[in-house]
């Protein structure tokens, strides 16, 4: 047996006539890994930095806010004459729908943000003036017989639940309690006039959107429906005796406004 010694051969090289190199595979793998790593690092250096994920989009709305609003809408007044004070014996209902209501008011509230979601409570008050005179049949004994209903004040306390579709736009649903002031005047067929000034409780619900425009201002757009509980007012006419009128009212509002942020509180932690 003869041995062949190859000068300068790396350790692990054995001249066995087949040119086999022991340990070649591990070295080749390490070399390939190094080349791939170096290539990847070079490519990564040429790529733009990856943008960080934005913060929870609803966090801007966290905290107190106050604002102003203006609105328009419609008013429906139903008045039921239970005792025939207007046109004679028997009950009759008179309905008038009036649109074009114009008014304005204030709002304020507090919101809690939990990442994309928002929960809040808000109170508002507004003044308006809309008269809804009801048509009385022309066969009334007195052509001056009339009913005039007027809506002039609205207060609401509502909760709202929203979702931020971006860091500048929030959409929400809202609902809660409402109170409205109405003024109703009756002129019966004996030419006697009776006026009732009432605060009536009810409920409200609707949808809206807030658009962030600066670091502390947002614009508001909202649609609300208000339903008021029925109420019966009674009086005694010197000529016609007992008179009872049942009131049933509803209001549609479309309003726009502006809100000012009063500081920024930390949002609700999410885990």
Looking at the domain assignment, is residue 270 inside a domain? no
C-alpha pair distances (Å), 206 with each of 121, 221, 251, 259: 14, 11, 12, 18
Looking at the domain assignment, is residue 89 inside a domain? yes
CB atoms within 10 A of CB 99: 12
Bridge partner list, 249: 77
State residue 269's pLDDT score: 52
For residues 78 and 42, membership in a common domain is answered with no
14: domain range?
1-51
For residues 115 and 187, membership in a common domain is answered with yes
For residues 32 and 62, membership in a common domain is answered with no
State the pTM of this model. 0.74
Looking at the domain assignment, is residue 238 inside a domain? yes
Would you place residue 97 in the very low, low, confident or very high pLDDT band (cuts 50, 70, 90)? confident
pLDDT reading at 1 higher than 70: no
Cβ atoms 237, 216 nearer than 8 A: no
199 vs 130, higher pLDDT: 199
Arithmetic mean of pLDDT, 84-109: 88
């Amino acid at each position: 047996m003869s041995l062949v010694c190859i000068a300068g051969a790396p350790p692990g090289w054995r001249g066995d006539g087949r040119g086999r190199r022991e340990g070649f595979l591990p070295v080749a793998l390490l070399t390939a890994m190094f080349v791939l790593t170096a290539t990847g690092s070079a490519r990564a250096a040429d790529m733009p930095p990856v943008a960080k994920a934005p913060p929870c989009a609803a966090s801007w709305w966290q905290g107190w806010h106050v604002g102003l609003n203006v609105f328009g809408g419609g008013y429906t007044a139903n008045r039921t004459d239970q005792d025939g004070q207007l046109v004679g014996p028997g009950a009759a209902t008179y309905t008038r729908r009036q649109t074009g209501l114009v008014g304005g008011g204030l709002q304020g509230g507090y919101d809690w943000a939990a990442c994309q979601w928002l929960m809040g409570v808000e109170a508002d008050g507004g003044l308006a003036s809309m008269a809804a005179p009801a048509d009385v049949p022309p066969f009334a004994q007195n052509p001056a017989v009339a009913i005039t209903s007027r809506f002039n004040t609205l207060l609401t306390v509502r909760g709202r639940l929203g979702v931020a579709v971006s860091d500048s736009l929030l959409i929400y649903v809202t609902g809660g309690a409402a109170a409205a002031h109405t003024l109703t005047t009756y002129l019966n067929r004996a030419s006697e006039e009776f006026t009732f000034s009432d605060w009536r409780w009810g409920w409200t619900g609707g949808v809206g959107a807030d658009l962030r425009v600066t670091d502390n201002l947002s614009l508001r757009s909202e649609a609300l429906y208000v339903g008021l509980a029925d109420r019966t007012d009674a009086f005694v006419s010197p000529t016609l005796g007992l008179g009872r009128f049942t009131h049933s009212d509803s209001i549609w509002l479309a309003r726009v406004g502006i809100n000012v942020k009063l500081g920024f509180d930390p949002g609700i932690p999410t885990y």
